[in-house]
Chains A and B, each alone.
Chain A
Amino acid sequence: MSKSGRSARRTHAGAAVGNEDLHELLRKKLAELNEHAAGNSGEIPPDQLASVERLSRAIRLADEVKPPNRWPPVLALIVALLLVSVLILIRVRQTEVTLDLAVTEMSFTLPAEKPVIGRSGVTQFGVSGVEDLKISPEIIPEFSGVHNVKMIRLMASSNSISAGAINTSALIPPSGTKVWLGRADMPRSYRLSLKPPRKDARVALNAEAQGEVNIAAPDVLTRPGNFDLGKSGVTFSFGASDIMDMDFVLSGNSDLQFYAQVPIENLGLSRIEEFSVPGKSLVTPVSTVLNGTLHLESLKGEKLELRAGELIRFSDSKGRIESLKLEGDRITFKFHGQVSGMQTGEAGASRNLMPNLLEWLKARQPLSLVWGSSLFIYALIISTLRWYRSGT
């Protein structure tokens, strides 16, 4: 601290003590004056009254030059800064987003029993993890009375005389079913996996096949064979109480009929890859995002472009898949819903994408924020000025 500062403080301290003395002296003089007046029928000598008046004026003058208290403005500034910091640092727990993405894989949970996929035409349809297989009518003798079929693949024959056709029926999994959907290596090839929520729940799907169909079932047939299923066709019913995988190739003129507005939860847009080095395995989450946009609806639809391979994850998500299409080498979909714990980047270098309270207020209560920030800046200026004046 400088010398002048110390002397100023001493001066202020001395002035405060002097003021107290003057107050004491004034009280004494007033008391004497009262006594004198009481003993002399209320008569007060003019000189004594003038003396008291001069003393009173001196005290008022001394009070005027008393240094102001510095702490209230400082405290106000600290409180204001804390408030702003809280608004910046604290993020909303949940926010509304729209995702418009192209991915290679995705996963989600179905919270309700609703139709997910409609009837779709496929050229190949392989199912693995099967626990129940029913073929109706039972026109394939090799499968009669067989109960241990774990996997089967149907492939429509392109034979021009008796060309085969395969159609999957509507898929209505039980509520709580976990779904994985990903592309395979070949064009128009995909894998759909379903896991029922409990052991006592089952996932089931039917496929209808007509004409000549090549069937491979390693548990039943020694080698794949062609079967003529006739024009009326055969229905294959698959059921499982654990994960059932469906590998399919969409026929040239067919799309996967994913219903619009399918409610989902726990959207996942990454997979994990493992690299092995001697003595240990390195496990890394890998984004399945090819490109797309994230719209933060609670921030008036603020747009955030997601690049290929950008890892985005949520601790929780709940909403609807508004549309989903399988497009050659990618899956494009639109999700709208509430998410929490939204982050990009790998663990350790991740960025929190949840809006902070300030951003939220800015988007939701712009007028309040303008008023609040104006008051804050005004208070800041006043405080600074008072601080400056008090120091001079």
Chain B
Amino acid sequence: MTNRTHATCPCAWLICLMGISSPCIAANLGDVKCDPGLQPAGGNEVGYALRGERCEGLYVQEVSGGTLEVVSFTENFKAYKSPNDKPLLLEWPALGDTQVQVRACSLRRKLYYRMDTLRAQKPPSYLWPSDILSRLELRRDEIGLLAWTEQPLATGRRTIHLPVRVTPQESPASAQQNAVESYRVVLLSNVELQEVYITLCPLDSNGRPGKPIRKSSKLDYGFYPADRPITLHISFSELNGAPDGLYSLSVGAELKNGNPKNAAEVCFFHPRGTPRRQVDGGKP
């Protein structure tokens, strides 16, 4: 059992995927299972519940402890105003045939919100109804987004994160204009940190790490309060050397009391060459 300590983006399914077998991902498309451990909050309108192809809503929770985890891995974007009640188009780079778990969580303090859905690899996109987001008045920068799948790598299977691009449905062109050539990674910790260190490596065909692109490089922000997003960027230009486009991101931290703390290693897919999104159309 893993002691999870952050409120907003529980990683049960992530752990599930990181395990040897994955009953979660083995489910058929549309066979979305809501996390039974989350107690819905806020009534039927916004409580965590099955809503079509996704489980979404608020749950009762307030968590403490010492977890440090990656809660969002998206393409970087310039701030834009998301129109109310218009679906958001989530896209990710296609990789293999295995289904993709998509998870959104709230980065707003003490707002316990989550969305889970299970998608086929093709098309590598999901049109996400934003009715709940609108009701909760969640801004784009208050949402953490992860998409991951499981792929065979060397002798075993590994969880591969697929960076998500988010665009308002009716204005993909403006999203292209707003896109920045980097990834935006958001970390959350339930305790205040003294410093955060990043190690970034390409992975070879056998899943072994190559020469580090960044090796224990500190963020040097000077202030990492508990329960507040810690954002870091990975530029596309620094990502090279991975034959299959797979990279490993390790996040380590020093707590205020000097003790070390590590987040689970994140293996992510960066498709070589640009533009990245010319895959199987866009809409589901």
Contacts and interface: CB of A to CB of B under 8 A. Distances in A.
Interface of A: 105, 126, 128-129, 150-153, 184-186, 189, 191, 193, 195, 214, 216-218, 221-224, 242-243, 245, 247, 271-283, 286
Contacts of A242: 108-109
Interface in B192-222: 192, 220-222
B4 A274 contact: yes
A218 B24 contact: no
10 contacts: A128-B228, A216-B221, A242-B109, A272-B60, A273-B64, A274-B37, A276-B10, A279-B24, A280-B37, A281-B10
A334 B58 CA distance: 34
Contacts of B2: 275-277
Contacts of B132: none
Contacts of A277: 1-2, 12, 15
Contacts of B192: 126, 184-185, 189, 191, 247
Given A279-B13, A280-B36, A282-B37, A185 B222 contact: no
Contacts, number: 135
A245 B228 CA distance: 9
A147 to B, nearest CB: 13
B37 A152 contact: no
B109 A245 contact: yes
Contacts of B82: none
Contacts of A129: 109, 228
B66 to A, nearest CB: 9
Contact of A273 (B16, B39, B63, B110): B63
Nearest to A182: B64
A272 B223 contact: no
Contacts of B61: 272, 274, 283
Given A274-B61, A279-B23, A184 B256 contact: yes
A218 B221 contact: yes
Contacts of B60: 272, 283
B166 to A, nearest CB: 20
Contact of B4 (A150, A191, A281): A281
Contact of B110 (A184, A195, A275): A195
A185 B255 contact: yes
Nearest to B23: A279
Contacts of B16: 278-279
Nearest to A153: B223
A189 B256 CA distance: 10
B5 interface: yes
Given A243-B110, A271-B63, A278-B16, 13 more contacts: A128-B223, A152-B223, A184-B191, A191-B226, A217-B222, A273-B63, A274-B7, A274-B10, A275-B1, A275-B4, A278-B23, A280-B12, A281-B12
B110 A276 contact: no
Nearest to B225: A128
A280 B23 CA distance: 12
A275 B222 contact: no
B4 A272 contact: no
B11 interface: yes
Nearest to B226: A191
Nearest 4 A-B pairs (CB), nearest first?
A216-B222, A224-B222, A281-B37, A153-B223
Contact of B63 (A195, A216, A217, A272): A272
B259 to A, nearest CB: 8
Contact of B5 (A152, A274, A278, A283): A274
